[in-house]
Amino acid sequence: EAGVTQFPSHSVIEKGQTVTLRCDPISGHDNLYWYRRVMGKEIKFLLHFVKESKQDESGMPNNRFLAERTGGTYSTLKVQPAELEDSGVYFCASSQDIRGEQFFGPGTRLTVL
Amino acid sequence: AQRVTQPEKLLSVFKGAPVELKCNYSYSGSPELFWYVQYSRQRLQLLLRHISRESIKGFTADLNKGETSFHLKKPFAQEEDSAMYYCALYTGGFKTIFGAGTRLFVKA
């Protein structure tokens, strides 16, 4: 079992461009979470899927961010257009139960120039 | 407001010394608290949760509802404990709130 995987590991883009991050959760995990860590700050919740349904997207910064989980398997997080303040590490996590241990991916480091 | 506060960004102790990483939370309901750890070049992973009352790698944490705290303690720090530690609060909905993290550095 590879665990939660994320692609790419790093992405450097210019302001105004579009970037799509991908997360593959552990097989069988219905719960999928996206988080972001901006340098020196807390790991901030972005949103939570149960299967293909968004249950809580209260942490999404604005409408430049779009998350999808078609078919309830992998998820994508698209940022369009990217701004400088979007730079950070984006983590994905999955869990079997909503109250259970979350298993994290290695993160995608996004740099917007 | 729901919030997790870790007041120390960096904690440096000598090997064999006791260590306490502080965590305070703000939540009006019944909290579920966790400690996650990220070792160098590894993923964030669960260390322990208050409901299981376990001791993992010699670490313990007790939920103090009166003081709204969930401090992480270890009586004798080891060099391999050096890592980034995050306190997290599950609020009963679909969201987990993390603190800003404390970097623990254990000196030889």
Q: A24-72: per-residue pLDDT in tens?
A: 999 999 999 999 998 878 899 999 999 999 988 889 999 999 999 988 8
* Mean local confidence (pLDDT), B93-106: 91
Q: Is A84 helix (H, G, I), strand (E, B) or coil?
A: helix
Q: Using beta carbons and an 8 Å cutoff, which residues of A are at the interface with B?
A: 3-4, 33, 35, 40-45, 48, 50, 55-56, 58-59, 91, 93, 98-99, 101-107
CB contact under 8 Å between A104 and B43, yes or no, is yes
B50 phi and psi, to 5 degrees? -70, -30
Q: Which tokens sit at A30?
A: 């219905």
Q: Which of residues 3-62 of B touch A (CB under 8 A)?
A: 4, 9, 32, 36, 43-46, 49
Using alpha carbons only, give the angle A90, A92, A96 rounded to the nearest 5 degrees.
165
pLDDT digits (tens, 9 = 90+) for B64-89: 999 999 999 999 999 999 999 999 99
Count, residues in chain B: 108
Task: Count CB atoms within 10 A of the CB of residue A112.
Answer: 20
